[in-house]
Structure 1
């Protein structure tokens, strides 16, 4: 099919654009997403293919910054293609596209554990994909953020036919001045420990959460951890399960009126702001549907403001 072949190289004015590959078995979906993205300055559709096998071939022939990868496809599905794409280009930024179901959320978060950079919920109706301002804003925002991160990655290959990617200059060993530090000054008093740890994340956040909490194994920290990650309700439910699996932490969505306990991870549920209030000697979670902040609900700002009011300075955020 004509829509299943890499597109020709862009002219030189677009050489600095973020180059995107669409991978979806629906030619209609690819066409609609192409029209959405082609209207955006600085974003170029470099390839549009119908399955994972074709994506591997296209990646071998084209420089790609960001891949939008559907999960369910014939011949080679997204989960099979994901590690193969990253094997070809370890710095590639891959956005998984899945349905807003528990199964879709679980698969998307497993993909993040495997190296995908982010995910985006796929509209259930074609009309929502064609005219959905929210979907377009979210997709474009993720592409721009991940594309910029890709540009800073030293693993990024040179453009086909273009100049090689600049590498940082390495000084000759004979010219390097070695600074000998003085004796270490140890603290005579222990640092003041926080009473709570707060984390806010958005694009690329789930992958970072798996990494940070996986390294900070359960039992090594006694403080409670509260997280606001901007994602739909279905996904926040599954996010807690995945954090528990990779880290051993007891992680789940926070509940309204719940007393915060140490050594647990509380996640703001999708479509709710999660805040904390003091109630006697306890700290209690509160959920609300106040207006979005910075276009997000849940948003991290309300959580951080409430934590500052409830805990004062003894916060690690």
Structure 2
């Protein structure tokens, strides 16, 4: 590749080639173009060097080390692409600036918190209207299944197979679809909501299962705003790394409680966790195993089990 070629042109060529293969590269494309401007503003010439990559990675408003690590990870595929045209190009080693993955500990809800949330949702205004029924059922479904809020709001009526006791989650994260079996109490709650919804909205504009009082599909920002208002009303204090408890923490709570029950009932987690990972729509089982290391209650159960195992071995 010609050294006189502007870095922006190199980035554009790279993005075009990758997008022709189906990669969207939206945020990555923005960052790579920012790198190109950085290199051009500094009058860089010749192949990309490790020194240039590090200077750009650290040239951020954020002082967090993980930010620089993520920035250089975005650069690596592009620089590797350039190396095929110029062997003098220096590709940054993997994890040069440390790990790019840090998962903050979630807020794990207690049973009393979930009960209080559903009770407060059921008291929303207008009393006896569709809105309180919608949010009580929606939040209850998230707590009972560990679904993502986006998955629940995308459900259409045809996806809620109450006669078969399951939901069809279509084209979710990573374009994966799956079946979600339901507990009998969840089926009853969904059936009750469907009757109320059809009573208030005999003719709806959208075919979604969860609807606004105006017959439109419920929007995620409406659900987030309602949840935040209820959270403030209930006076919750976060017990994780996030500033406030979140809707998504209902999913974390569901997974954590499943793992806790298995450990306490001495179920073989290694055998059962594949089913749980599939149920909640994780692509990798390691995403589900992550909860063992981040949730204190789970770590305590794991430690107790290992301690019992160690005592048994020592007694043999």
TM (normalized to structure 1)? 0.26
Q: Which has the higher contact order (CA 8 A, sep 6+)?
A: 2
Q: Is the radius of gyration larger for structure 1 or structure 2? A: 2
Q: Which has the higher helix share?
A: 2
TM (normalized to structure 2)? 0.26
